Structure 1
Amino acid sequence: MSINALRNDCPDRGMAQVRKRQDLRTVRWYVLTLPTAAGGRRDRISPSRGLDVELSRRERRGETLFEYFAPSYVEVRKVGGKLVNTRRPLLFNYVFIRSSVEEIFRMKRTLPLYNFLPRISSGDATRFPYLSDSEMENLRWVARSYSNELPVYVPDSGRLLEGDRVRITSGYFAGMEAEVVIQPGGGHKDVMARILDCMWVPLFEVKPGEYELIELNTKGKHAYTHLDNDRLREGLHDALGRYHASGSVAEEDTRLAREVLRSYGSLRAETDVMRCKIYSSLLSAYKLLGEEDEFVRLLATMRGMLPAVKAPQSRALLLVTLYGCTDSSVYRQMAHDLVDPWRVESSPKKSKQTLIRRLADYDRWLRHG
């Protein structure tokens, strides 16, 4: 090689080395793995336990900190005859760390079990796989949809109505189907269910989690025209938009939510269609008022009744409301699967147009366009 060629090559190599050092120090979301146990069984090492210890050690010594993400889900097991919720890793042997390659190698001196994914080639260079901030945010959103799910959807027995059908899933009556014949009120404090057309039992004796809703009553006698109050329904929707934009609830929106509770909170719905309308309004009101206990109870009821709702528009109303109130990627996808085909109809009904608009609003407000 000539002297001139060497002179020209040195600056290029110097720049390449500078870029390499910068790349090693750039903070990104890298993917690390943990080993699995022999024989294909997953090890019981917690992906976050060692990282928590390392973070505490670095914080005490004033060293560089890092952020990590180890998504989890809720698993239900029976322990001593009772259902117990436990947290399990969603991606068991993967953990995401926001740090630089240099810092991660430094961390591996004390935590050697954590390993990078194999390098990948990009032109003449190689690098460890990483996610962009936007990709990581989307992954966290999807993971939240699963980690926040209630694994056992138990319809609040107080919201079961005469004519509803349930299936007993465990206990003495496991496998049997029953029809609700008496609900609380009028001197009765228990939900009475008829089994085998001859045996009546209080449903409260069937513990929560030991029955599932399989059919809603569709033969109610009353129709509540004031459930179609556009002022309240549109007001709730607009209030949720302001809440998603600011994270707070204005005084006028609080008043509106309380008016909805006064109007619908004690209303007796006798059909699946009416229940979908009432529950969608109540869930939005509870969300705005921050009434977490009521919100969670009604959320479990709506999730539990969702498989039994057959009418497409009622089902779409539940799904759009669930998405708007929980920001769940699961319910967003289910809502779009049902609502999107309506967009190509020549003249969709007003109720369909409303749901199309609301779903688009939630996508925009929650930034999932």
Structure 2
Amino acid sequence: MAKSVSSALTRTADPTESAATPVSEAQNRHIVRWYVMVYPTSSRAMTEELDRELTRRRRDNEPLFEYFAPVLVEARKMNGRLVTTRRSLLYNYLFVHASECEIYRIKQRLPQYNLLPRVKDSKESYHYPYLTDKAMRDLQWIARSYAEPIPICTADPAWLVKGDRIRITEGRFAGIEAKVVTNTPTRHKEILVSIDNWMCVPLLKVQPGEYEVVELNAETPSYYSRLNNSKLLDRIHDALCRHLAGKGADEDRRIATEVLQEYGCLTLESDIMRSKLYALLLQAYTILDETSKRESQLVAIQKMLPAVRAEQSRALLLVTLYGCTDNRLYYDQAHALIDPWLAEKSPKKSKAQLIRHLADFDREFGHGGE
């Protein structure tokens, strides 16, 4: 978490400072930097005490400071239930954006916070360890990836389609593989267990979270071939880039609306086609700022992703997730898949399209050359 920095702290460390512009020790103590500090434990009190100090300073009209204490949010199963936990990502380390003089004033009231021992730099001078503004921006970008629950892939029956295979992970049927069929009159999903490849028994008591996806149905109905449209993907991608740049227009919203009207209610029985569909829908919801539906689509993609085996389908989902979230984890995974394609002399059209889209998102988010 981070708190607002006071306007009274105006001078920040300049990364271009060099030996040509030496800073005296007295001046150095008044430069605002992201200093690394340590607390005795990684308990919740590490940030609560700083929050109380900030509240007091606001009340007394004293200079404020900013701090950053990244957290790791995890979703795990405990006693059969999903529980979300929060803990410090860096144990008992945090960063305070203030000058040395201001930190000394903080320590007068909160002596339990300590700076790390001084270190010697290339100019043979000693200073407390700190991060440059650029390094802190990078750290905050990475930390945002851990500040939301890491998805546990417990696919809901409503997301599965006919032909998907799953493995029961809990209960008396644990270890048995099953397949999904659709009850047409009610549209309810039933899980059928294949026994010795000749008999299927319905598992009516298997709940979400008690099974994992083994394989998605790979059959592609021909009447969904219209989704294999690179121009449509380019149009929605270009519209999303303009939206991210704050240059969105009515035409972009019209494109997103058309995508939802035409494809929003489809149920596809192929992992490849579902990947294309979900990529279109997530970008459309993002462009239209439909937060609730966007979050639901994000969850659907996160749950599906581990079961997608086709390389380009995974790449499409990862690029889309990165473009719609600016999440460092998706950035890394997308580049890990796509960067090797750059060595190909003539990558096929679908690969070249994803290479271009990934580069566009890097440029929009300012992550080129990472």
Match of 1:192 among 177, 190, 205: 190
Partner Cα separation in structure 2 for residue 310 and residue 264 of structure 1: 23
User: Residues 109 and 171 from structure 1, CA distance in 2 versus in 1: closer, same or farther, beyond 3 angstroms?
Assistant: farther
What letter is aligned with 2:158?
A: G
Q: Which residue of the partner structure matches residue 331 of structure 1?
A: 330
Task: Give per-residue Cα distances to partners, 1:277-300, cap 9 Å, x unaligned.
Answer: 111101111111122222222212
Q: CA deviation at 1:154?
A: 3.6
Q: Which residue of the partner structure matches residue 67 of structure 1?
A: 66
Q: How does 1:343-354 map to 2 (within 5 A)?
A: 343-354=342-353
Partner Cα separation in structure 2 for residue 350 and residue 134 of structure 1: 36
What letter is aligned with 1:21?
A: A
Q: Which residue of the partner structure matches residue 281 of structure 2?
A: 282
Q: Which residue of the partner structure matches residue 364 of structure 2?
A: 365
Q: CA deviation at 1:321?
A: 0.8
Q: Which residue of the partner structure matches residue 121 of structure 1?
A: 120
Q: How does 1:21-60 map to 2 (within 5 A)?
A: 21-36=26-41, 43-60=42-59
Q: CA deviation at 1:101?
A: 0.8
User: Residues 158 and 104 from structure 1, CA distance in 2 versus in 1: closer, same or farther, beyond 3 angstroms?
Assistant: same
Partner Cα separation in structure 2 for residue 109 and residue 208 of structure 1: 53
Partner Cα separation in structure 1 for residue 116 and residue 319 of structure 2: 38
Partner Cα separation in structure 1 for residue 174 and residue 48 of structure 2: 40
What letter is aligned with 1:216?
A: L
- Which protein has the larger Cα radius of gyration, Structure 1 or Structure 2? 1
Checking the alignment, whether the CA contact within 8 Å between 2:316 and 2:354 is kept in structure 1 is yes
Checking the alignment, whether the CA contact within 8 Å between 2:74 and 2:148 is kept in structure 1 is no
What letter is aligned with 1:334?
A: Q
Q: CA deviation at 1:78?
A: 4.3
Q: How many residues align?
A: 343
Unaligned stretches of 5+ residues in structure 2? 1-20
Which structure shows the bigger proportion of residues in helix conformation? 1
Partner Cα separation in structure 2 for residue 272 and residue 221 of structure 1: 11
Q: CA deviation at 1:168?
A: 3.1
Checking the alignment, whether the CA contact within 8 Å between 1:265 and 1:282 is kept in structure 2 is yes
Partner Cα separation in structure 2 for residue 54 and residue 104 of structure 1: 12
Checking the alignment, whether the CA contact within 8 Å between 2:76 and 2:152 is kept in structure 1 is no
Q: CA deviation at 1:25?
A: 0.9
* SS of equivalent residue, structure 1 residue 224: helix
Q: What's the TM-score, normalizing by structure 2?
A: 0.87
Moved more, 289-298 or 56-65: 289-298
Task: Give per-residue Cα distances to partners, 1:197-221, cap 9 Å, x unaligned.
Answer: 332124xx54443332221111244
Q: Which residue of the partner structure matches residue 5 of structure 1?
A: none
Q: What's the TM-score, normalizing by structure 1?
A: 0.87
Task: Give per-residue Cα distances to partners, 1:68-123, cap 9 Å, x unaligned.
Answer: 11111212344564212122211121111100111111111221221111110123
Partner Cα separation in structure 1 for residue 91 and residue 32 of structure 2: 24
Task: Give per-residue Cα distances to partners, 1:303-344, cap 9 Å, x unaligned.
Answer: 222122111111111111111111111111111111111111
Checking the alignment, whether the CA contact within 8 Å between 2:66 and 2:98 is kept in structure 1 is yes
Partner Cα separation in structure 1 for residue 76 and residue 224 of structure 2: 42
Q: Which residue of the partner structure matches residue 310 of structure 1?
A: 309
Checking the alignment, whether the CA contact within 8 Å between 1:169 and 1:175 is kept in structure 2 is yes
* SS of equivalent residue, structure 1 residue 96: strand
Q: How does 1:1-369 map to 2 (within 5 A)?
A: 19-36=24-41, 43-78=42-77, 81-122=80-121, 123-182=123-182, 186-197=184-195, 198-202=200-204, 205-246=205-246, 249-369=248-368
Partner Cα separation in structure 2 for residue 196 and residue 270 of structure 1: 20
What letter is aligned with 1:250?
A: A
* SS of equivalent residue, structure 1 residue 241: helix
User: Residues 92 and 257 from structure 1, CA distance in 2 versus in 1: closer, same or farther, beyond 3 angstroms?
Assistant: same
Partner Cα separation in structure 2 for residue 310 and residue 237 of structure 1: 23
Q: CA deviation at 1:262?
A: 1.1
Q: CA deviation at 1:189?
A: 4.0
Partner Cα separation in structure 1 for residue 173 and residue 68 of structure 2: 43
* SS of equivalent residue, structure 1 residue 113: coil
User: Residues 235 and 87 from structure 1, CA distance in 2 versus in 1: closer, same or farther, beyond 3 angstroms?
Assistant: same
User: Residues 209 and 109 from structure 1, CA distance in 2 versus in 1: closer, same or farther, beyond 3 angstroms?
Assistant: farther
Partner Cα separation in structure 1 for residue 133 and residue 302 of structure 2: 32
Q: CA deviation at 1:156?
A: 4.2
Checking the alignment, whether the CA contact within 8 Å between 2:57 and 2:63 is kept in structure 1 is yes
What letter is aligned with 1:195?
A: V
Unaligned stretches of 5+ residues in structure 1? 1-14, 37-42
Partner Cα separation in structure 1 for residue 53 and residue 173 of structure 2: 51
Checking the alignment, whether the CA contact within 8 Å between 1:163 and 1:216 is kept in structure 2 is yes
Checking the alignment, whether the CA contact within 8 Å between 1:154 and 1:209 is kept in structure 2 is yes
Partner Cα separation in structure 2 for residue 146 and residue 320 of structure 1: 18
